[in-house]
Amino acid sequence: MKAIILPGNSKKSNEIWVDELKDGLMSCFDEVTAMHYDHWNSGEDMDFESEKRKAKEILGGINGDYAIIAKSVGIVITMTLIKEEKTTPKYCIFSGLPMDEDTTGPFTELKNMLKRYSIPTVFIQNPDERFIKPEQLREVLSNLGVKKFEVVNGKGQEHSYTVGEIVEVAQEMNKKYENN
């Protein structure tokens, strides 16, 4: 099985992290691709559509089963591609879901994409996450009719997620879904 990592938006907290995560996941997958966003080099704001196209191209080049590991805005890119039926991963690991428990506002579109979502997914959410807390996330996902999900309390600080915890979840998910 192969994997692609779609990190969070910030170069400062994600550029090194995504490469460290790629190295950590090499023991779990045949091939791991770590996406780097163009705005990390340009210094401009993220061009969401451009990054979505880039992710779609990478995913289109993968033969066989694959997992998507995404953080923050990487989750939004992933969910958009899934909703548009541009990708169907075997499973996902999402860390730092950028959503609150409110049903209106800027997170409404992400919530709409999650309605009746059924790809096996582990959501890693830190207890002190600035977005939604793990216990609130469980309730929101249940209310949205999300299937085949688990919410795990993260071990990181606020919106930072450790390589070790993601590797552990990937190992567990591979055992569960590699031969299914």
Q: Where are the domains of the chain?
A: 2-177
Q: 68 falls in which pLDDT band (50, 70, 90)?
A: very high
How does DSSP classify residue 150? E
C-alpha–C-alpha distance, residues 15 and 161, integer Å: 13
As its CATH architecture, domain 2-177 has 3-Layer(aba) Sandwich (3.40)
Give the Cα separation of 171 and 178 in Å (integer).
Answer: 10
* d(C-alpha 163, C-alpha 135), whole Å: 22
Three-state DSSP state, 110:
helix
82: confidence class by pLDDT, cuts 50, 70, 90: very high
Amino acid letter, 74: G
Q: Cα-flanking dihedrals φ and ψ of residue 168, to 5°?
A: -60, -45
Reference 175, options 63, 117, 90; nearest CA is: 90
- Tokens describing residue 10: 């910030």
Q: Is the pLDDT of residue 158 over 90?
A: no
90 pLDDT more than 60: yes
Which structure tokens are listed for 3? 């994997």
What pLDDT shows up at residue 101? 67
